[in-house]
Structure 1
Amino acid sequence: MHRWGLRWVGWPVKQKGKARQAQQEAIASGQVQMIVGTHAIFQEQVQFNGLALVIIDEQHRFGVHQRLALWEKGQQQGFHPHQLIMTATPIPRTLAMTAYADLDTSVIDELPPGRTPVTTVAIPDTRRHEIIDRVRNACTTEGRQAYWVCTLIEESDLLEAQAAEATWEELKLALPELNIGLVHGRMKPAEKQAVMQAFKQGELHLLVATTVIEVGVDVPNASLMIIENPERLGLAQLHQLRGRVGRGSVASHCVLLYKSPLSKTAQKRLQVLRDSNDGFVIAQKDLEIRGPGELLGTRQTGNAEFKVADLLRDQAIIPEVQRIARHIHERYPQQAQALIERWMPETERYSNA
C-alpha cells in the first residue's frame, strides 16, 4: 500500500483505550485510506470517511446484519459501497441464487496445481487400534505427518465426542516413539502458533487438534487425517477439515472414525464424503439431506424460510424467478416494497444490503 501512497491500519481484536481511540479518529478524519479488521469495524462508534469498497473474507462467518451495517455506514455520507464477498465454503447454485440473489457470483472450482485427491474411508471406533497402527506406519515408515481431529476440548457428560486433551494423552501412551502436539481454541494465540509452527517445520509427527485447523493450515507433508465423531459435524466443515491433507504430491487419506450405531441420515452424509472430493457436489447433497436453513449454519435474518417455494423442487425456475425479482426491484420499487412488507415485514431493510 505504501507504494501507492496509501495509509492503512490494522484493527487488532484486543486493542483498547487510547490506541483504539486514536485509530477511530484517524479513520473518521480520512487520514487512513484502508482498514483491515474483524467484526470490530462494524461497531457503531467506528465512523468512516467516504467508505466506497468493502471486501469480506470468509463470508460464511458473517451475516446479512454485517453487510447491512457497512452499507449504512457508507450511506451516511452519500456513498453506495461496492462489496466483494469471498468464501471457501462451496454453496449450491440454487441456494446461492436465493441467499445471495442481489450479488453477481463467480466460482473457482478447480484445485491448485499439484494437489492430489484424498481417499476417504469410514471406520467404526471399535477398530481404533488399527487406526493408531496406521498412524504409526505413516509417521515412521513413510516419513509423513498426520492430524487427529476431535470435536470437543473437555470431557462432557452430555456428548460422547472424544475430547482433544484425553485423546492427546491416550495417543502419547500408545505412540511413545512419535512427537505429538496438541492445539485447540482455548490456548493462548502464541502457544497455538508455536505448536502449529513446530508441526509445519516437521518437528511434530502427529497433531491432535479441534476444528481450529479448519482453515489457514498448509502442511504439504501431512497426508493422513483422522476425524473422530464425524457424525457430529456438518458436511461443509468435514470437507474443509479434509482439505488440510492432499496438499502435496503424495496420496493422502482421511479416516472418518465414527461411533456406532449411525442413523440413516448420518450414513448418507458420510457416504457423500466417501464418494466425492468435489465441494459443490458435497454441498448439493448436503442441501438435499438437511435443507437450506441447516446448510447455511445458524439462521440469519434475511435468510427467511420460503413461504411457497422449495429449492429442490423448484430449482429449474430459480434463475427466471431471480430475473423477475431483480426487474421488479429496479423498475417498480413501490410494488417491490409492498411485496416485502406483505411477505417479509421483519426483513424489509435487507433488500438494500
Structure 2
Amino acid sequence: MVKMELRHFNLTMVHEFFLLNFSDLPELQITLFVFFLVIYITTILGNLSILIITRLNPHLQTPMYFFLGILAFIDIFYSSASVYNMFISFLSVKKGISYQGCIIQLFFVHFLGTTECCLLAIMGYDRYVAICNPLRYTDIMNQRFCVQMVAIVWCIGFLHSLLHTMMMSHTIFCGPNHINHFICDVNPMLTLSCSSTYVHEILLFYVTGIVVLSCFTCIIVSYILIISTVVKMHSAKGRLKSFSTCTSHLTVVTLYYSSAGIMYMRPNSRYFLKYDWVIAVFYTTVTPMLNPVIYTLRNKQVKTALMQTICGKLSPQE
C-alpha cells in the first residue's frame, strides 16, 4: 500500500484489487474452470470459423458477411479480455489483479463492447438497404462505405472507452479493494471509491445511454421500415426469405442489448450491483459463444459455405 496526503487526511491508495471468487471450494473451482473453458474454446472456434469462411469463400464477399466477420473478430477478443483474469483466479492461489491491469481490462472490455453495440446498428442498416432498396444495394453499401462505417464504430468504441478509463484512472481508491465482479467494470469499482462519484455516474449513465439508445433507435427504425416493406410483398416466398435474413441479426441484438441495457441503464443501487456479475457473465461469455451458432443455424448460405470449406480442407489433394 502506498500512503498519500489528501485534504489533511491520511489515505491508503489501493494498488491491487481482488475480483469475485465464484466459489471457495477447490473441487468446485476446477468444475467452474472446465465449464468456462469449454465456453471459451467454443467461442474461439465458432467465431474463428465464421471469420475464416467469410474471408475465404467467394460467395460470402458481401457487406452482410463483411460485417459478420468483423463481429466474429470482436467477439474473439471481447471474450478473451473478459475471462482472462477469471481463468487466472481459478488456477492460482493469488487472486488479485494490479491496479494498472484492472484499468487496462476495463478499457478493452468497454472498447470492444461499445464497438460491437455500434456494429450491430450498422448491420441493421445493411439489412434495411438490402430489403428496402435492393436495386441500389451495391451502390449504397459499397466497399468504401462499409470500411468507413467500420472505422467509425471502432473510433466511437475507442473514445467511449477512453472516457471511462480516464475517469476511473482519476478516481481515488483507499480500501476496501474487493470488487463484487469477475471483471473490472465501472459500476462495481465506483462503489469502492473514497472520492465523490457523482460526476462519474452521470457520465456513465448519459454518455453510455446516448451511445446505446442511438444504436438501438437506428436498429428499431431500420426494422420498422423493413417490416413495412416486407408486408407489402405479394410473394409469400419473398416475405419468408426477407424475414429469414433478419432473424439471426434480431436474435443477436435482443440478447446483447437486453443484457447490456439491464447492466448500464438501470438504477445504480447496491441490490442491482450485487447481481451485476450474473448479467455480465451472459453478455461477455455466453453471447459471444452464441453469435456464430445463431448465424450458422439460421443462415443456409453460411452453413453451406462452412461445409464446403471443411470438405475442401478434408478432401484428398490430387
- Identify whether the pair has TM-score above 0.5, normalized to the shorter chain: no
TM-score (norm 1): 0.21
Please identify the structure whose Cα radius of gyration is greater.
1
TM-score (norm 2): 0.22
Structure with the larger helix share: 2
Higher relative contact order (CA 8 A, sep 6+): 2
